[in-house]
Amino acid sequence: MIYSLTFLIILANYGSVFCYEGSIDEELLIKPLQSNQVYAHFQFSTKWDIDPEKETFRHSSLFPRPIGELIQRFDIQELHVTLTGGLWRYEKWGYPVVDAATGAEVLAWFKPGSDVDTNWKLLANSLSGLFCASLNFIDDLNTIKPEFSFRPRGVVDSKFINSSHVRYANLPHEIVCTENLTPWKKLLPCDSKTGLASLLNSGHIHNTRYHSVGLHLRPVCRDKSCESLSLELQQTVSLVYDYLILGTKNWSLRKLFGQGVNRKCVLVNKSDIYVDTTLTDVELEPAPDKTVTSIRGGQTTVLQKYEVTNTFLNIYAKYQNADVVPLNLPPPLHANQYLSGYGQERGGIVTKIYNNHWKELDVVLLQNIPWFIPIYLHTLKVVSNGKELKPLQLRYIPARQRIRPNYLEVLLRLPARTSTSVVIDFDYVFLKWQEYPPDANFGFHIGSAVISCYLPVAKNYTAVPWDMTLISDSFNASRNGYLVEIRTENLIITLPTPDFSMPYNVICLACTVVALAFGPLHNITTRKLILKSNKKVQLVEKIKKLLNSLSKTKEE
């Protein structure tokens, strides 16, 4: 009896060890943008209070197990994956909560001492399976190790911050669709049946101007003292709805997502909806639970807070004066990228960075240019309002054909209120005919440039501070700097094509020319010049001769 009691106690103790310590919070930020769009950002944050170093990831309850397996198998320190369709227009829309490049983008930090290159390839393949995306096309041809642009977002021993542990790749031609969203939703504890996730209906997501699905994994401090670590997984969805597509400026949850929130997911800690009403004079129905005013980095934001309960919730926003268009104030820093030149021989990649701030800004420009665009570093020109700028730092690893891309990172100090263009020339390459895709004349993508900067003001800024997790943490969270990682447009370049229909002809013709040299040279070198009778032998005589010789041989 005593034995069985002790056994029970031991079991209970073990039970407390296995007991899940963590939380999941879901938030939705709805922000009418200054132009004719409304921005909806979903964030599902799972925090797991375990030591990422020691955990075996065999058991998990709220935390998705496939992600745990990835961490354990590939020695991941930090992982950021985004799948994006459409382009975020910084100039008109300000900064999003999470920056993402058009197409697929993967950034991973690996634990020191692991076999980074192998793990990176395996990770890409696993993610490809996990999200049903073509992330398996990530290989040496499009992977770079940026030195300045990215820093770990989570807690890390600073002596291990080294570009040899980071890998970054983007697949600009990746098309994001429903098939990527479904597996992504499966990672949530309540799936998409209850809670905010029930708003994510594929049909209403993919008719937006911009949609981005993301997954961000990082170790964070468990509490203020930061004596122990937790693992944080953020799953985000960013959507930009266009009023023109919606047909009206007055939006509602039902209009945007097809349905309202049914009830709260029981596993979730906090389930909140915030509606930004700073710029617009809008009447909300039902009335918000709370009004939050946030003053952050010189910008005041007014937000209406709704708490999701077990009753049905559909927020309806009605504009008081639909004709009022708010003045568009461009954010302190934004950028564009385009191709210059004409024809298919020589061109240039131009990245134009606008500094609208009243002070100079230090930015890092990162370019990941595929190998089939050989760039000339000596043509790199940074011109700011007619004056040439000298890069503060420059990192360049030239491309190798069919092996690795061009990696270029430039550290610039942009003068106040200027537009700076960074121009670099390249040559158009002629590929082998089997290297062209089936739609060869569609062109090849060049991924977007990444411009990172610590902004001194939080104008048009919505991102969550680094040391925090939730959107609600970003209220009144003034810091010394606000990190933005601006992604520019993708480029399409049409390389000159050969004639795909005639490999045989080309081989035959070129070999004929070689034979034209071989024939005479062979004759000249192996034969002797002799004088020959010019008499033409008649055909009849030839036959006679032949017959004669034949009859002779018979007689013999």
Partner 1 sequence: MKLAPLDITSNIDNTITKYTNVKSTKILRTLQLFIKMSVKIRAAYTNSISTSRIIFTCLAAVIVRYYLMLSKYQTVIANHVEVSTPLNSWKRVSEGLYLISKNINPYEGDVLHETPLSLYLYKNILLVFQDRIHLAFITFDVATAIILFFTTKKFNWDLFVEEENNKETFAKDAVECFLKPEKLFKSSYYVLLTYLFNPFTLFSCVGYSTTVFYNFYLAVMMFCMVHGISVICGIFLALAASVSFYPVVLILPVTMYFKYAIKSNFKIIINLFSFITTSVLIMLMCTDFGKDFSYIRNVYGCILTVPDLQPNIGLFWYFFTEMFEHFRELFIYAFQINNTILYLVPISLRFRKHPFLLTVAINFIITIFKSYPSVGDVGFVLSVVPSFPHLFPFSQQGFLVGTMLIISTSLAPILYYLWIYCNSANANFYFGVTLSFAVAQIFLLTDLLFSQVKRDYMLKYGKNRKIDGEEGILCLE
Is the Cβ–Cβ distance between 29 and 217 less than 8 Å?
no
Please say which residue, 239 or 408, places its beta carbon nearer to partner 1.
408
Contact 451, 364 (CB under 8 A): yes
Applying CB under 8 A, which of residues 530, 537, 539, 540 lies at the interface with partner 1?
530
Interface with partner 1, residue 390, by CB under 8 A: no
**Nearer Cβ to partner 1, position 129 or 520?**
520
Task: Choose, by CB under 8 A, the member of 507, 543, 547, 550 that binds partner 1.
Answer: 507
Q: Would you count residue 270 as binding partner 1 (CB under 8 A)?
A: no
Residue 239's Cβ-count burial label (10 Å; 0-12, 13-18, 19+) is buried
Q: Which of 9, 295, 510, 543 binds partner 1 (CB under 8 A)?
A: 510
> Which CB sits closer to partner 1, 114 or 344?
344
Helix, strand or coil, per DSSP, at residue 121: helix
Should residue 550 be labelled a site residue for partner 1 when binding is judged by CB under 8 A? no
Query: How many Å apart are CA 514 and CA 537, to the nearest integer?
Result: 34
Examine residue 145 and tell whether it contacts partner 1 (CB under 8 A): no
- The CA distance from 550 to 265, in Å, is 105
The 8-class DSSP code of residue 149 comes to S
Cα–Cα distance measured from residue 274 to residue 289, given in angstroms and rounded to the nearest whole number: 10
Q: Does 502 sit near partner 1 (CB under 8 A)?
A: yes
Sign of CA dihedral 360, 154, 61, 215: positive
C-alpha dist (Å) from residue 16 to 260, 293, 385, 523, 554:
38, 41, 65, 94, 112
Task: Report the distance separating Cα 317 and Cα 314, nearest Å.
Answer: 10
* The binder of partner 1 chosen from 161, 221, 350, 397 (CB under 8 A): 397
State the DSSP H helix or E strand holding residue 120, giving kind and residue range, or none if neither.
helix 116-131
Instruction: Quote the tokens at residue 238.
Output: 């960013």
Rounded Cα distance between 310 and 312, Å, is 7
**Shortest spacing between CB 436 and partner 1, in angstroms:** 10
Instruction: Determine the Cα–Cα distance for residues 353 and 361; give it in Å rounded to an integer.
Output: 11
The nearer residue to partner 1, 244 or 509, going by C-beta atoms, is 509
Candidates 267, 411, 429, 483; binder of partner 1 (CB under 8 A) is 429
Rank residues 311 and 525 by Cβ distance to partner 1 and give the closer one.
525
Nearer to partner 1, 379 or 385 (CB): 379
Terminal-residue alpha carbon distance, the chain = 123
Instruction: Give me the least distance between CB of 526 and partner 1, in Å please.
Output: 7
Question: Could you tell me the two tokens for 153?
Answer: 């977002």
How far apart CA 317 and CA 303 sit, in angstroms, is 13
Residue 148 DSSP symbol: S
Does position 430 bind partner 1 by CB under 8 A?
yes
Residue 222 or 395 having the CB closest to partner 1: 395
Residue 528 found at the interface with partner 1 (CB under 8 A): yes
Q: With binding defined as CB under 8 A, does residue 529 bind partner 1?
A: yes
Residue from 2, 531, 537, 539 touching partner 1 (CB under 8 A): that is 531
Q: Write down the least CB distance from residue 549 to partner 1, Å.
A: 21
Residues 328-367 contacting partner 1, CB under 8 A = 342-346
Q: Is 148 in the site for partner 1 (CB under 8 A)?
A: no
Least gap, CB of 495 to partner 1 (angstroms): 11
Under rule CB under 8 A, residue 552 binds partner 1:
no
Give the binding site for partner 1 (CB under 8 A): 342-346, 371, 374, 376-378, 394, 396-402, 406, 427, 429-434, 496-499, 502-503, 506-507, 509-510, 513-514, 516-518, 520-535
